[in-house]
Amino acid sequence: MPAALTSLMGQGLPPEVPWVVFEYPLFLVNSDLTPLSQKMDQVIDRLLSWEPRTKTTGTIIQDPATVSGRDYEETYRNVQSLFLRNKWGDGTSITPPTTNHVNWVLSGTDHESTETVGGGSGAIMPKGGILTYEVLATCLAMAGGRPEHLPVLAAACESIISTDNLMFTSSMSAYPGILVNGPVAKQIRLSSGFGLFGPDPVRPAGTVIGLALWFVLQNVGGLTSGMGTIAQYGEMRHGCLCFAENEDALPSGWTSYAEDHYGRSRGSNSLTFFQIRGGGVRGFTHWGAGSEPSFEIEMLESFHRAASVIKTTPTSGVPSDLAGIQGMLLYPALVCNNMAGIGWDKEKIKKHLSEELFYLLDEVKHRSGILRAVEEKGLDIDNLPQRFSLYTDPERIRLVVAGGDHPSRAMWLPNLIEGGNLEIELPRNWADLLSEAENDLGAAPLDY
Amino acid sequence: MVKTTPTKGAESLTEITVLNPIGAHPIHHLFAKRLGNLDGKVIAQLAADPVKWQPHRTFPLIEDEIKKRYPTATFIPYADFPQGTDIGNEEVAVAVKARGADACIIGNAA
């Protein structure tokens, strides 16, 4: 569904629009505008003569679909084809969301199936489709989800109800992320360690919940690739990011992400929803050659490597936010404990890293628009600082203890926008759900 | 629901009924009535950015083309209104109506 139509639907208009199509190059610098002149009669016709099919306001209800075949296998394949023809899937096999299956997934909430997630309009933008718990469970069922995944997915979706989701529509390929704090993570088999971003058959919750989240955004929100969203590369949208902080392995005296930034108490279950606005995921090597005279030397040299990955010259050559563009820094617990062992706490780590993050005027002067900007504003370039700090506020570096417990690698998620932190609401039958999961999947892993 | 139905003679037919994942869609507003013609009409322009995606070139061309066909149509330039991503706000719509606009062109990629 083209972006314009999605956007109009999000404003509560009918799913139709009078349009005239112009190719992209028309809107670029020094473009040939002849196509616009040539099609003006069509434009005026749409302005003056077009009649919409929809004559009344109301709600368009989506009916179930029935697919048939000679046997179950053929019918199952036909379901896959239906979901792709309708642009409801993503190319992977989906679990057919039958009523029985969706009702099973719905046992993960005490809310009625017809209730809107979050209790308000339930609108997922930009298309403005209404997210009820039934639709939520449908998307989770498609992704292969189980009832115990529903509370985390519901909290994530509640974070995005009625937000404009503008970043997800743009070419920047912003993708969503979920960070979970609290014991619920291990209970539902959500990783805080090795293979953090998935896939992991022992800890499948992250992949499943992330995929379901994208189904909500795509199907209810209209963010269909190339149509409702012009994200050029999509980046981590396939499966999004959904992981937990490794709270049990935090260094002594360290507080969790939810404690630091949202005042949650240790042991409470909460979820931080975030977006990464283009920039993918950027790993860097933490450990050194092995010949360093001390761990501290190894660590200080590692910060150079971290900085080289985090540092990005802004488009104009001038940082748009002097405090620093927020990002999420993931270090495994083993590394954090080593750092803590030599007296480095979170604040010291962030402060030191922020001091490593700068660029020199000479690095960017001839490689960006800075000379044009200086001329436009009538400044003397010799009066500009020779060194620009990229992070005047170290708190813009958001540190999370997560990732496989190995000293080699760490991770930077750039251009972070946080969408808030919500409590994860567990249903009354939580213990029963976990017992059922143990029956089906075996004992939940306890290590991470 | 999965249903298998024996059919006369040959193999049985299996059906799977699946729920729709796209959610209901509310229609709160209908499209504005078409103007019929643009003679004597006042057309406002709104731009999200003065140059990005070339509104400084496309708007004048659209204006010229409309005036060729409807010489008595008049335009309120986008420079007279706020620009930026806030052009979708209610205050801007109120400002456009207050200037007596009968129609509005919003661009580009806004």
Cα gap A55→B65, rounded to integer Å: 31
Q: What is the DSSP letter of A51?
A: -
Q: Which residue has the tokens 């933008």?
A: A125
pTM of model > 0.95? no
pLDDT over threshold 70, residue B6: no
The pLDDT value given to residue A440: 98
Dmax over Cα atoms in chain A, in whole Å? 79
Cα gap A6→A19, rounded to integer Å: 13
List residues of chain B with CB under 8 Å from any CB of chain A. Answer: 1-2, 4, 11-31, 34-38, 53-54, 57-58, 61-62, 65-66, 69, 85, 103, 108-109
A12–B29 CB contact, under 8 Å: yes
The pLDDT value given to residue A370: 83
Residue of B nearest to A33 (CA): B58
Which of A184, A98, A95 has its CA nearest to residue A145? A95
Cα gap A154→A136, rounded to integer Å: 7
Inter-chain CB pairs, A–B, below 8 Å: 177
The pLDDT value given to residue A18: 84
The pLDDT value given to residue B8: 53
Parse chain B into domains and list their residue ranges.
Answer: 42-107
CA A233 from centre of chain: 14
- Residue range B43-61: mean pLDDT, rounded: 91
A12–B28 CB contact, under 8 Å: yes
The pLDDT value given to residue B48: 86
The pLDDT value given to residue A280: 87
Residues whose CB falls within 8 Å of the CB of residue A376, separated by 6 or more in sequence, listed in order:
none
Q: Does A219 touch chain B (CB under 8 A)?
A: yes
Parse chain A into domains and list their residue ranges.
Answer: 1-27+75-279+420-448, 281-413
Residues whose CB falls within 8 Å of the CB of residue A115, separated by 6 or more in sequence, listed in order:
A132, A133
A134–B19 CB contact, under 8 Å: yes
Are the C-beta atoms of A108 and A208 separated by less than 8 Å? no
Compare A315 and B1 and report the one with higher pLDDT.
B1
Model confidence pLDDT, tens digit, residues A163-176:
989 889 888 889 99
Q: Does A98 touch chain B (CB under 8 A)?
A: yes
The pLDDT value given to residue A315: 58
The pLDDT value given to residue A313: 65
- Name the A residues in 120-149 with CB < 8 Å from any B CB: 122-124, 127-132, 134-135, 138-139, 142
Task: Kindly provide the ipTM of the predicted complex, given to two decimals.
Answer: 0.89
CB atoms within 10 A of CB A111: 19
CB atoms within 10 A of CB A329: 21
Give the end-to-end CA distance of chain B in Å, rounded to a whole number: 44
Residues of chain A short of pLDDT 70, as ranges, are 1, 313-320
Cα gap B81→B75, rounded to integer Å: 12
Which of A176, A82, A164, A177 has its CA nearest to residue A400? A177
Copy the structure tokens of residue A432: 């029963």
